[in-house]
Amino acid sequence: MLRELTEDVLETIKSAARKATGYKRRQFQAEMALKYCQGSPRRTERVFGWGRDAVNTGLNELRTGIRCHDNFTARGRHKTEEEHPEITKQIHSFVEPATQADPKFQTPFAYTRMTAKAVQQQLEAMAQPGEDGTPPPIPSERSVYRILNRLTVTAEEFIRRFLQHVLPSGFQKVRHFGFAHARQRIDREWLKMLVTVTLNFVYVLLVAAKPLPVAHPPTCPDCGAEMTYIGFLPAPVARLDSS
């Protein structure tokens, strides 16, 4: 049966297998193994390049009619919160006093002023070896950074922080904007003068001008008394000898 497979047919079968996933791919591989490779997983691996374990699983599924469920969630590397929840709780206890909720309360994420490096140093300082003497796992600075980015507050804490901004009944919130904002650097006295002049009122300056400095005559370098100006002697003009 192997002589009937040309290069074009092999490429077509491989392309069809790549487009399927999960049990559908295993079922297709098992059908091709029965049709062209006499149901041998090793021969199927040699001809088509598929893993013989997957082909063997597909043959068993096709023979028994029982489908194996794929455990996709167990693949790859899991988050630190899932592998070591105790470390996550310890990190939350470190940064909880220095966290704040979203100012607009649009997301449950919390923001902290602590850096990932500082949190990692605290974890290393408080790390205690286990019963067998092995040190506890310390996440890297990058892992701590990702944990801090996923940091959230509980529903009760979110509601508590939100209710702190809700005024009692009968009160009205006042927001300062424009020149009255705290970050504005405009001189308030200058604004008062402009308003007064615009309304044709008399504006009195409360700040007096600085006095001008008084010029003192030069003093004698010998006795220290003030010198009196008598006259000016021009400097002698140098003459060139033209002879």
| pLDDT one-digit tens code per residue, 127-165 | 777 677 777 778 888 888 888 888 777 778 778 877 877
**pLDDT band, residue 239 (cuts 50/70/90):** low
Share of the chain above pLDDT 70, in %: 87
* 2-6, 32-36, 111-115: segment of lowest average pLDDT: 2-6
CA–CA gap between residue 82 and residue 51 (Å, rounded): 31
Q: Sign (positive/negative) of CA torsion 44, 46, 50, 54? A: positive
Mean pLDDT of the chain: 79
- Structure tokens, 126: 């408080």
pLDDT at 39 over 80: yes
- Structure tokens, 216: 């003192």
| pLDDT one-digit tens code per residue, 192-220 | 777 777 776 655 555 555 677 777 778 88
Q: What is the pLDDT of residue 208?
A: 56
Cα angle for residues 139, 142, 145 (degrees, 5° grid): 95
pLDDT at 1 over 50: no
The stretch 8-18 carries a mean pLDDT of: 89
pLDDT at 115 over 70: yes
* 2-6, 122-126, 173-177: segment of lowest average pLDDT: 2-6
User: Bigger pLDDT: 32 or 188?
Assistant: 32
CA–CA gap between residue 145 and residue 125 (Å, rounded): 18
The stretch 45-52 carries a mean pLDDT of: 89
Q: What is the pLDDT of residue 28?
A: 92
The stretch 59-77 carries a mean pLDDT of: 81
The domain segmentation of the chain, as residue ranges, is 2-69, 83-127+138-163
Q: Sign (positive/negative) of CA torsion 81, 82, 86, 89? A: positive
